A and B are shown apart, each in its own frame.
Chain A
Amino acid sequence: MNFDFSDDQKSLKDQARKFLSEKAGAKVTRGVLDNAAVSFDETLWRSVAEMGWLGAAIPEEHGGLGLGRLELCVLAEELGRAAAPIPFSSTVYLFAEALMLAGSDAQKAAHLPKVAAGDTIGCFATSEGPGLATPSSIETTFSGGVLNGVKIPVTDGDCAHYAVVTAKEGAGVSLVLVDLTQAGVTRTTLKTLDPTRGHAKLEFKNAKAERLGAAGQGWELAEAVLDRAAVLIAFEQVGGSQACMEMALDYAKSRYAFSRPIGSFQAIKHKLADMYVAIEVARSNAYYGAWALSTEAAELPFAAAASRVAASDAYYLCSKENIQTHGGMGFTWEVDCHLFFRRAKLLAVQAGAPAVWKEKLVKRLEQKNAA
């Protein structure tokens, strides 16, 4: 047993951190936050594409680097740490994973190389309104090669070229691939809690679309895509949590009150210790998820749910207590705490809210015990 990343993977992580500390970070994230007209940072997106990150886990035959999911996990943690304002998670963890999981050879050949090159931005559209989506609550329909319905909100839906969508097909649900640049698609940009990532409402009126995978298999496939994305997003969340803790630590050491660094007060120390504990719990669960993802282990559904629950909780705790540690400064627009507080919530709900994953986790425990 070896429960750690390899030296090569660690050095990839170091390179990623170095690169992102120069080319990304709060200034770049704020650039997107402060400019309502842009939904992501193009320069950063291009550089990330040039380094091959978008295709890290895409096989070489489809233009990727053919590294593994573990490498992608390492990159995800660093992107999360930087709160990078690019449609990486939608394109790589959701769209590309959906294609790799369910796409035909022709679909893979058509789309994966463009994803790897940074020319196609993808998104994954499931939500149609508040509350839990279920197979029976889906109103979007796919029949005769055309798609009709509304998806809202869709993360990165305002900039994506393609979407993978859950839709009713006859009595079942199918996964459907749709070109968003065609006339049958209307996009409306949405205001959201985290404006450092673009969001849209997508309306399909007889939009041309094609199925991804078998008819009626869409719900199971979507769940499988979400399990994969859950692990990868958990790494982003761990990275973000870690960034919050480090910000809080720095501040706690340098800010003085009552002639002492505030970090010498136990109320602050214990806050930071709680953050540390939450991060370690999340990190360990995420590592297990990473292993399950990279080996396609039967434990993946359970490990993915555990990763997601732990990471969502850790990020919420760390991002809110980072603000509290910063006092009044923490509540200002100028200090970066809120970038993480926003991102924490987006990541917590983007691929299913924590409560949904808690329910999945228990269901999966029941299944394990029934078997």
Chain B
Amino acid sequence: MDFNDTPEEAKFRAEARAFLEANCKPKQAENDRMSRSLKPEEYMKAAKVYQKKKAEAGFAGITWAKEQGGRGLPPIYSVIFNQEEAKFDAPSGVFSIGLGMCVPTVIAFASDEIKNRYVAKSLQGEEIWCQLFSEPGAGSDVAASKTKAVRDGDDWIVNGQKVWTTGAHFSDFGIVLARTNPDVEKHKGLTMFIVDMKAPGVEVRPIHQMSGGRDFNEVYFTDVRIKDSHRLGETGMGWNVALVTLMNERLAVGGSYGPDYKEIFEFARGINSPTSDGPLIKNEAFRQKLADWIVRAEGYKLTKFRTMTALSKGQMPGPENAIGKVINANQMMDIGNTAIEAQDHYGIINDPELAALEGAFHQSYMFAPGLRIAGGTDEILKNIIAERVLGLPQDQRADKGIAFKDLPTGR
């Protein structure tokens, strides 16, 4: 067991550090984020420029195969890069769905020709992707997707509606799960495609989120044509393709998106306790909670290191990674909630000029409910842990042996 870098790792870390120093500003405070000072279009532009530099310097796709423009290094090198990058205010997040979930699926299932067309451009930040799985009637039960794809010569014609599609409004391409055969059981009649988000018939309508943001969308398909060469995997095998995406999703998501224990610790040193004299950090109840947050945040971080070690030894990422989301989404909510209540009545103010950490605790309080849902709800992730990690019996299913078109539906 060794937490220190090997000589090669140390060399890589120094390289990463030099690259970051040349291209980004170091963070002054834990909570510095350029996303807050820039307009969305400016942020996007900055993100693209940065991604290109990253790709050129060999820091994008660190674990991807060399043929895909990656560096073919073990996952621990991504961890090292991320550790260093976290010390800088780099524009991140824009490419995570594409590079974390969609493009790895393309690499796993597409022909060489298609890979040559898409992979390098994505890695260089020129093209952005979204994941079109969920539908109004098919979120947790994503295999209940109704969006229809019908074969027409060399093309498929797609009709239907997707929803909650993050980033669809600025994406160039997406991977879309569609029903190609309603006459068989629901998991067997699905097929996955690459869709051009700018193609005729694709309409993206932004959804206003409870957090105030507009990160996700409804997407409507009306007679959208997709070439058969853009099919991922065999016809009818879309569920297996989706599972690969979802497995990568659990590796890609799960980090903390807002202030963590370090920020609330700083906050507590500078604010009066609402229930006793002196700063909040001296309050016993607060200290006990803080300890819980430390232990879970560190525990999750260290669990990821264990996963990376296992991956480096050639093991596959398993459903174990589901634990990250279960821990972090709830912790984020809890930290936001505590920071707000600790300010007593004043805590309600979320004007960035007046609120603690420029309103970051409010943002995370309002975004945490979405995080408990996105990428699989807490309940679904616990099912996955129970069934696939611990081997408990599968849920009783009401859809076994029934053709998709005959399944009962609610609202």
Binding site for B on A (CB under 8 A): 1-6, 70, 245, 249, 252-253, 260-261, 263-264, 266, 268-270, 272-274, 276-277, 280-285, 287-288, 290-291, 294, 297, 305-306, 309-310, 313, 355, 357-359, 361-362, 365-366, 369
12 interchain pairs, CB-CB under 8 A: A1-B308, A260-B396, A264-B395, A273-B386, A277-B326, A291-B3, A305-B291, A310-B295, A361-B295, A362-B281, A362-B287, A362-B290
CB-nearest residue of chain B relative to A275? Answer: B390
What separation, in Å, do the CA atoms of A249 and B80 have in the docked complex? Answer: 37
B230 within 8 A of A: no
Q: Are B3 and A272 in contact (CB under 8 A)?
A: no
Q: Are B386 and A3 in contact (CB under 8 A)?
A: no
Q: Are B295 and A264 in contact (CB under 8 A)?
A: no
What separation, in Å, do the CA atoms of A261 and B327 have in the docked complex? Answer: 28
Main secondary structure of the interface of B (DSSP, over half): helix
CB-nearest residue of chain B relative to A248? Answer: B390
CB-nearest residue of chain A relative to B306? Answer: A3
For residue A3, which residues in chain B have a CB less than 8 angstroms away from its CB? 1, 3, 302, 305-306, 308-309
What separation, in Å, do the CA atoms of A287 and B79 have in the docked complex? Answer: 18
Q: Are A359 and B288 in contact (CB under 8 A)?
A: yes
Q: Which of B49-57, B151-159, B377-385 contacts A (4 or more CB under 8 A)?
A: B377-385
Contact of A1 among B2, B284, B287, B387 (CB under 8 A): B2
Q: Are A290 and B1 in contact (CB under 8 A)?
A: yes
Q: Are A282 and B299 in contact (CB under 8 A)?
A: yes
Q: Are A273 and B385 in contact (CB under 8 A)?
A: yes
B9 within 8 A of A: yes
Contact of B382 among A70, A253, A270, A288 (CB under 8 A): A270
B323 within 8 A of A: yes
What separation, in Å, do the CA atoms of A2 and B6 have in the docked complex? Answer: 9
Contact of A306 among B76, B295, B396 (CB under 8 A): B295
Contact with A along B316-336 (1 / 0, CB 8 A): 000010010011000000000
For residue B313, which residues in chain A have a CB less than 8 angstroms away from its CB? 4
For residue B281, which residues in chain A have a CB less than 8 angstroms away from its CB? 362, 366
B28 within 8 A of A: no
Q: How far is the CB of B84 from chain A (nearest CB, A)?
A: 14
Please judge, given known A-B contacts A260-B396, A272-B386, A277-B327, whether A1 and B296 are in contact too, CB under 8 Å.
Answer: no
Q: How far is the CB of A251 from chain B (nearest CB, A)?
A: 11
Q: Are A263 and B382 in contact (CB under 8 A)?
A: no
Contact with A along B379-411 (1 / 0, CB 8 A): 101110111011111111000000000000000
What separation, in Å, do the CA atoms of A297 and B308 have in the docked complex? Answer: 22
CB-nearest residue of chain A relative to B4? Answer: A1
Q: Are A4 and B309 in contact (CB under 8 A)?
A: yes
Q: How far is the CB of B369 from chain A (nearest CB, A)?
A: 19
For residue A273, which residues in chain B have a CB less than 8 angstroms away from its CB? 326, 381-383, 385-386, 390
Please judge, given known A-B contacts A280-B320, A358-B291, A365-B265, whether A272 and B392 are in contact too, CB under 8 Å.
Answer: yes
Q: Are A309 and B382 in contact (CB under 8 A)?
A: no
Main secondary structure of the interface of A (DSSP, over half): helix
B344 within 8 A of A: no
Nearest first, the 9 closest Cβ-Cβ pairs linking A and B are A281-B299, A358-B291, A269-B386, A284-B302, A273-B382, A273-B385, A263-B392, A264-B393, A3-B305
Contact of A288 among B9, B302, B310, B381 (CB under 8 A): B302
Please judge, given known A-B contacts A4-B306, A280-B320, A281-B295, whether A269 and B265 are in contact too, CB under 8 Å.
Answer: no
Q: Are A1 and B6 in contact (CB under 8 A)?
A: yes
Please judge, given known A-B contacts A269-B386, A287-B1, whether A365 and B294 are in contact too, CB under 8 Å.
Answer: yes
For residue B9, which residues in chain A have a CB less than 8 angstroms away from its CB? 1
Q: How far is the CB of B11 from chain A (nearest CB, A)?
A: 14
How many B residues face the partner with a CB closer than 8 A?
Answer: 53
Contact of A359 among B287, B303, B387 (CB under 8 A): B287
Q: Are B383 and A269 in contact (CB under 8 A)?
A: yes
Interface residues of B in 243-300 (CB under 8 A from A): 265, 281, 284, 287-288, 290-292, 294-296, 298-300
Q: Are A310 and B299 in contact (CB under 8 A)?
A: yes
Q: Are A281 and B390 in contact (CB under 8 A)?
A: no
What separation, in Å, do the CA atoms of A263 and B390 have in the docked complex? Answer: 10
B5 within 8 A of A: yes
Most B-side CB within 10 Å, residue of A5, A249, A272: A272
Please judge, given known A-B contacts A270-B382, A358-B288, whether A285 and B295 are in contact too, CB under 8 Å.
Answer: yes
For residue A358, which residues in chain B have a CB less than 8 angstroms away from its CB? 287-288, 291-292
What separation, in Å, do the CA atoms of A310 and B305 have in the docked complex? Answer: 17
What separation, in Å, do the CA atoms of A245 and B389 have in the docked complex? Answer: 12
CB-nearest residue of chain A relative to B298? Answer: A306
Contact of A249 among B301, B392, B394 (CB under 8 A): B392
Q: How far is the CB of B281 from chain A (nearest CB, A)?
A: 8
Contact of B1 among A4, A280, A285 (CB under 8 A): A4
Most A-side CB within 10 Å, residue of B288, B326, B382, B392: B392
What separation, in Å, do the CA atoms of A4 and B315 have in the docked complex? Answer: 13
Q: Are A266 and B383 in contact (CB under 8 A)?
A: yes
What separation, in Å, do the CA atoms of A79 and B371 have in the docked complex? Answer: 39
Contact with A along B66-96 (1 / 0, CB 8 A): 0000000000100110000000000000000
13 further A-B contacts with Cβ under 8 Å, apart from A264-B392, A284-B303, A290-B1, are A1-B305, A3-B306, A260-B393, A261-B393, A263-B386, A263-B392, A263-B393, A277-B326, A280-B299, A280-B323, A285-B299, A288-B298, A359-B287
Please judge, given known A-B contacts A3-B1, A280-B323, A291-B3, whether A252 and B392 are in contact too, CB under 8 Å.
Answer: yes
